[in-house]
Structure 1
Amino acid sequence: MAFSASPHCAPPLHRFGLRRFPPPQPPLAFMRCPFFSSSSRPVYFSPAPTLRIIVSANSKKPYSGRSADSTSASAIDFLTLCHSLKTTKRKGWINHGIKGPESIADHMYRMALMALIAGDLPGVNRERCIKIAIVHDIAEAIVGDITPSCGVPKEEKSRREQAALTEMCKILGGGMRAAAEEIQELWLEYENNASLEANLVKDFDKVPSCG
């Protein structure tokens, strides 16, 4: 039985540079591991994701997803740099010979918890306090924990930390500009003691410790 073309039929895909995709694969494939006997337990694995390229009828180049790749790369580079906050021990603890000194990340996390459990205070945004606590020493991922015992003038310490923060935000801003700008704003707010929230977090920073 022959079929004639209908004016209501969709035009051929090749006219728009489109290709039909193969049918989607099931979410899980099943196999038995060849290194064990046939009676061994089955092994489940997820197949590699199929790359899908979307082509517009009016576009000349396919969308490559570069923006998403840039965002992921920026986040990974930034978090990799921040990893040193977990491994760098605070100088005050070391100078006092205390066993098991806390890291910079330990200190920042403790301050964030203090902000979290603090009671409601008139005119104070507790969520912002938590954010400030999380980022207030973030520049030390590059410059380390500079204390008075290091003999670095206060102005020089501030200059080094500002330069480090700018570099970190530049790395993150490659794909996550809004997040980078927020971190810089929070850090400067704390550094300049420019709000009630910053003032409260500075009080948390003075809670007895060896930092």
Structure 2
Amino acid sequence: MDKLNVKDVMQYIELVTNLKHSSRKGWEYCDVPNHERIAGHMYAMAMMTFLLDEKSGLDRFKCMQLTLVHDLCESIVGDITPRDNIPEDVKHKMELEAMEKLTSLLGDELGGRMFALYQEYEKKETPEAKFVKDLDRFDMIFTAMTYEKRDNTPKKLQEFFDSTEGKFQHPFVKKLVAELENMRPRQSDSSNDD
């Protein structure tokens, strides 16, 4: 820590704590009141890594680290969604540059380690990165179900479920998704009886 520039560290802290107040735009675009912030999403994913047991074959600590860095670039570029109509390659370039800027504030060793974790998540080649991507998608649909239930708006957020259909890979997350579908209120559950 002594080798780090304190002014750079303070800038890093200022940037990453923006995520406590930065909206998850998908919910905003769907007019979901009192919706989560980016940091809340990352926190929920990090807490889910505790569900992994030692027999999972996954590096639990690395999974937690991946959840905490996967959206860090959004502290600079914000949450870019498909509705923003920004081409995927442009989005990736913006996010990569933001992550480079952010991690450069922490020096070669620490910043390099964080940047490597971010790249690992982005490439989705390791079992841990694939698992964390599943958590990312699962947290999104779990949150969608929570808002539908809370606001008594069954199926209002169906687009989020549709966007993840058939994309889950990890067996444990697949079980969670199946249970979530069982828990999800149906349109007929909220209709009035004659």
> Does the alignment reach a TM-score above 0.5?
yes
Q: Which residue of 2 aligns with 1:185?
A: 116
Partners of 2:24 and 2:135 lie apart in 1 by 16
Opposite residue 165 of structure 1, the aligned amino acid is M
1:156 corresponds to which of 90, 97, 101: 90
Comparing 111-120 with 99-108, greater Cα deviation is found at: 111-120
Aligned positions of 1:15-94 closer than 5 A: 68=2, 70-94=4-28
1:16 — aligned with what? none
Partner of 1:39: none
| Alpha-carbon separation, structure 1, partners of 2:27 and 2:88 | 20
Give the alignment of 1:80-159 within 5 angstroms.
Answer: 80-159=14-93
Runs of 4+ in 1 over 2 A off after TM superposition: 67-74, 117-123
Structure with bigger helix share is 2
Report the equivalent of 1:32: none
Give the paired residue count: 142
Question: 1:87 offset after TM fit, Å?
Answer: 0.9
Query: 1:123 & 1:117 partners in 2: Cα distance?
Result: 13
How far does residue 123 in structure 1 lie from its aligned partner after superposition?
2.5
**2:128 corresponds to 1:194:** no
Unaligned runs of 5+ in 1: 1-66
For 2:54 and 2:91, locate their aligned partners in 1 and report how far apart those are by CA, in whole Å.
Answer: 33
Structure 2 residue runs of 5 or longer lacking an equivalent are 145-159, 161-194
- 1:69 Cα deviation after fit: 7.6
In the alignment, the residues of structure 1 paired with residue 5 and residue 76 of structure 2 have an alpha-carbon distance, to the nearest angstrom, of 22
- For residue 130 of structure 1, give the secondary structure of its aligned residue in structure 2: helix
CA–CA separation in structure 2 for the residues paired with 1:126 and 1:69: 29
Q: Do the aligned partners of residues 203 and 121 (structure 1) sit closer, same or farther apart at CA in structure 2, a change above 3 Å counting?
A: farther
Equivalent residues of 1:77, 1:172 under 8 A apart: no
**1:14-51 Cα shifts (integer Å, max 9, x gaps):** xxxxxxxxxxxxxxxxxxxxxxxxxxxxxxxxxxxxxx
TM-score by length of 1: 0.63
- Mapped to 2, the partners of 1:144 and 1:81 lie a distance apart of 11
Query: Shift in Å at residue 74 of structure 1?
Result: 2.5
Q: Which has the larger radius of gyration?
A: 1
Paired AA for residue 134 in structure 2: D
> Cα deviations across residues 125-182 of structure 1 (Å, max 9, x unaligned)?
0110000000000000010000000001111111100010011111222xxx321011
Helix, strand or coil for the counterpart of 1:89?
A: coil
> Is residue 171 of structure 1 aligned with residue 105 of structure 2?
yes
SS at 2:5 equivalent: helix
Counterparts of 1:169 and 1:70 in 2: how far apart (Å)?
Answer: 12
